[in-house]
Structure 1
Amino acid sequence: MKVLIIGGGGREHAMAWALHKSSRVTEIVAAPGNAGMAQVARCVPVAQTDLEAMVALCVAEAPGLVIVGPEVPLALGLVDELAARKIRAFGPTKAAAQLESSKAFAKDFMERHEIPTARYRVCTSMEHVRMGLAFFENPSSPIVVKADGLAAGKGVVMAANHAEALAAAEEIFSGSLLGTTQQTLVLEEFLEGEEVSFFALCDGKHAIPLAAAQDHKRVGEGDTGPNTGGMGAYSTDTLITPEMRTWMTKEVAQKVVHGMREEGVPFQGILFCGMMMTARGPMVLEFNTRWGDPETQAIMMRLESDALDLFEAAVDGKAEGLRLAWKPGASVCVIAASGGYPGSYATALPISGLDEDLPTGTEIFHSGTAFEGKQVVTAGGRVLGVTATADNLRRALGKAYEGIAGISFEKMQFRRDIGHRALGREGN
C-alpha cells in the first residue's frame, strides 16, 4: 500500500519510520517532508497551509491511505475534502477538529458531557473579560488566558493575577501577542500538578488507550524560561497506573467519542488529552486532535505492532478489536533546537554528526531540517529529536544523550534534564 503523510516535522518522521517497517507498506510519500524523512519517503514540497495543493497531490498520488500529521490541515478541512473524493484519510473532520482548533468549543463540550476540567469563562470582548475575572473572585490568584484559535503554541498566557490577565487579553484581542487578532478567548483557573499526555485511538465509536508520555515544554532546564513546542518527552510503563489508564479512557476519551457522536460529529483519529494531575483529581487542560510532538517520537519507538494496523483501525472503524504490542521499559526523545528558539533564530546552518554510529535502540528523527545540495542544514526552531529505548528510563536517557553528543550545529541547544521528575520519583 502507498501511504501519503502530510507534514514535515519530527512527529511525521517518526510515523514514516514506523510505517517503513511494515511489510504491507510499499511506498511512503511525504508532503513536504524533511531531510530525514527523505531516507524513507519520497518528499514533495507542498505547503501545509495550501488546502487546494494538498488535495491535488492526494488525488494525483492516489494513495491507499493519507495520514494528516499537523493541526492546521485538519482545521482547514483536508480530511473532509479527501472523504468527498473517496480517499481514505486518518484524522478528524474539520468539525471534529474543533476540539483543538477552538478552545471555547472544547471547554463548552467538556461541560456538556461532564468531563473534568478547570473552571472557565469564554469572552468575546474586554467587557466580558472583566466580568469573567469577577467569577474567579480573588484578584491576586493566577489566571490562564487562552486565545480561542490555533496559535502554534503561543496563544496561552499564565497571568500571575487579574491585572496581568487583563493585559494579556488586550494583547490577544488587538493582535499584538499573536500577530493576528482573535475574536474569542478563554479565561481559566490555574491548575497545579504534574502534566501527562494521554493518547487514545478513536474510530468514531470506541476509544482505545495507547502509551502515555510526558512532555517538557519549557526551554530551560528545571522547567524554566518560555514555553516551546516541546524540548523532549519520555514514555514509561509506570507513568500512569493501569487503574488511571482505565479511568482516563472511560471518563475522558470515551466520553469525548460518545459526546461527539451524539452531537453528530463522529471523531476518528488520535485524541491527545493533555491532563493535569491535581489534588482534586485528573483534569483536562486541553485536547489536541492529532499526535503530539515530541511525544510521538517516544511512543513510536515503543510500538512493536505493525503501525499500519493502528492507523487503519481508526479509519475502518475497527479500533475496538485492535491489540497492540509495546516494548516494555522506557523511551525518551531529546530535542536539539536552534539557538534563540523559541524566539528568533538562524537557519541554513550545517549539521554534522548525523552519520555517526548510534547506540543500539537509538534513532534520530528530523524536525526542522532541509538539504543544501547534499548537506543537511537547519530549517526550524526544533531541529532534531534523538530518541532511544531501554529497559528503564535512566538507560534510555543515557543512550539519547550519547547520541546527541555526537551531533553539532552552530548555537545548538538542548535540555540535559529530560525525565527529571520520573528519575527523582522512581530512582531509576
Structure 2
Amino acid sequence: MNVLIIGGGGREHCLAWKISKSPLLDKIYAIPGNAGIAGIAECIDINTSKDNFTEIIKFVKSKGIDLTVVGPETPLVDGIVDYFNKEDLKIFGPNKQASAIEGSKVFTKEFMQRNNIPTPPGVIFGKTNYKEAIDYIKERKKFPLVIKADGLAAGKGVVITGSEEQAIEAVKDCFVRDRFGISGDKVIIEDFLGGYEVSVLCLCDGKKIIPMTPAQDYKRIFDNDKGKNTGGMGSYSPVPMINDKTYMKILNDIVFATYNAILKENITYKGVLYAGIMMSEGEPYLLEYNCRLGDPETQVILPRLKDDLLPLLMECAEGNLSKKELKWD
C-alpha cells in the first residue's frame, strides 16, 4: 500500500514512523515533510494551500497512492477531503462540513449548547457588536475570563484574561487590531473553569467511534502554567489523574454524546475527533474540539498503540472500522 502524509511537523513524523511499521506498507510519501520524515518517506515540496489541492491530487494519481493521511487542520477546514472524495480517492480526515467543529469555535459552542453537552457558559459577539462585548466585560465582576477567536489561529486564539483591562485588550486584538484576520471576526467570551485539561482523541468512520488512550499537554509558554497559550509545549500519556471511571464519564457525557449528536444532525464525520476536556471539581466540560490528531499528543499516543495503525486509518476512510477497542502498552 502506498501512503501519502500531508504535513511537516512532529505529528507527521510520528505518523510516518508508526505507519512504516505496518506489513501492509509499500512506500510512504510526505508533502512537504521535514528532515526527520525524510529518513522514512520520500518528501515532496508541494504547497498544501487550498489553491494547490488539484496539484496534490495529480501527484496522488501519478504515484498510485492508496491512502492520504492529513495531519494539520488547515487543509481539512479548507475542504481537501471534499476534493479527494470528488475524485474517488481514499483520504483520512473529516470533510469541510464536519471540520467546522475545529474551524469555528462559534459553530462548536452553539452545537454543544443545542445538544446539552457540558461546556463552560459563554456569550458570542460579532465585530459589529464590539461595544456590546466591551460593555459585557465591564459588567463582569468575576475574573478570569476566557476570550476565544472563532476561527483557526494556530493554537493561539484562546486568551485567559485575569482582569477587565486584559479582557478588553484581547477583544481589541480580534475586532480592532485584526490580529487573527477573519478568524477573529467573532469571539466567544467564556466563563473560566479551574481544574486540569485532558486530551481525548477518537477514531471515527462516519458511523462508529473508537476512543484512544488519553493524553495531557502543556499549553502555557512558561513554567508553572504561566504565560499565554501555545500550540503545545510537550505532552505525556498515560494521564495519572484520569482513572477508568473518570475516563468513561468523559466518554459518555461528552465524546459519545457529541458523536451521537453529529449523526443525528446528518453530519458525516470520518477521521479523528479530538476533545479538549477540562476536569473541574470532578466534572468534565468540553473546552474545544479539533478535527485532527493533536500535536504534540500524537507523539505520546501512537508509540503506545499496539495495533497496526495503517488498516485502522484505511477502515476509517472507507467507513468500516472493524475493531471495537484498541490495544495499548
What TM-score bracket applies, with the shorter chain setting the length? over 0.9
Which range moves more in the overlay, 105-114 or 220-229?
220-229
Matched residues in 1 for 2:259 and 2:246: separation? 18
Structure 1 residues 237 and 277, CA gap change in structure 2 (3 angstroms): closer
Report SS of the residue matched to 1:273. strand
Structure 1 segments (4+ residues) deviating >6 Å:
none
What fraction of aligned residue pairs are identical, expressed as a percent? 39
1:152 to 154, 162, 165: 154
One-letter code aligned to 1:127: K
1:138 equivalent in structure 2:
140
1:219-230 correspondence runs (5 A): 219-230=221-232
What are structure 1's unaligned runs of at least 5 residues? 328-428
Greater relative contact order (Cα < 8 A, sep 6+): 2
1:347 equivalent in structure 2:
none
Cα deviation for residue 64 of structure 1 reads 0.9
Do the aligned partners of 1:218 and 1:227 also contact (CA within 8 Å) in 2?
yes
Cα deviation for residue 142 of structure 1 reads 1.6
Matched residues in 2 for 1:100 and 1:10: separation? 20
Structure 1 residues 56 and 139, CA gap change in structure 2 (3 angstroms): farther
Matched residues in 2 for 1:289 and 1:304: separation? 23
One-letter code aligned to 2:43: C
Do the aligned partners of 1:207 and 1:320 also contact (CA within 8 Å) in 2?
no
2:297 equivalent in structure 1:
295
Cα deviation for residue 189 of structure 1 reads 0.6
Matched residues in 2 for 1:42 and 1:257: separation? 36
1:8 aligns with 2:12: no
1:126 aligns with 2:130: yes
Q: Which of these two proteins has the greater Rg computed from alpha carbons?
A: 1
What TM-score, normalized to structure 1?
0.72
Structure 1 residues 105 and 21, CA gap change in structure 2 (3 angstroms): same
**Alignment length (residue pairs):** 325
Do the aligned partners of 1:100 and 1:287 also contact (CA within 8 Å) in 2?
yes
Matched residues in 2 for 1:76 and 1:126: separation? 28
Report SS of the residue matched to 1:202. strand
1:92 equivalent in structure 2:
94
Which range moves more in the overlay, 68-77 or 261-270?
261-270
Report SS of the residue matched to 2:249. helix
1:257 aligns with 2:276: no
Report SS of the residue matched to 2:266. coil
Structure 1 residues 237 and 217, CA gap change in structure 2 (3 angstroms): closer
Matched residues in 1 for 2:162 and 2:232: separation? 23
Do the aligned partners of 2:148 and 2:159 also contact (CA within 8 Å) in 1?
yes
Matched residues in 2 for 1:117 and 1:181: separation? 21
Cα deviation for residue 312 of structure 1 reads 2.1
1:287-345 deviation digits (Å, cap 9, x = unpaired): 11101111101111111111113212322333363442211xxxxxxxxxxxxxxxxxx
Do the aligned partners of 1:55 and 1:78 also contact (CA within 8 Å) in 2?
no
1:59 equivalent in structure 2:
61
Do the aligned partners of 2:123 and 2:189 also contact (CA within 8 Å) in 1?
yes
1:37 equivalent in structure 2:
37
Matched residues in 1 for 2:54 and 2:136: separation? 40
Structure 1 residues 280 and 177, CA gap change in structure 2 (3 angstroms): farther
RMSD: 1.9
Do the aligned partners of 1:99 and 1:288 also contact (CA within 8 Å) in 2?
yes
Matched residues in 2 for 1:164 and 1:97: separation? 31
Structure 1 residues 132 and 225, CA gap change in structure 2 (3 angstroms): closer
1:29-428 correspondence runs (5 A): 29-49=29-49, 50-124=52-126, 125-130=129-134, 132-133=136-137, 138-178=140-180, 182-236=184-238, 238-279=240-281, 281-319=283-321, 321-327=323-329
Higher helix share: 2
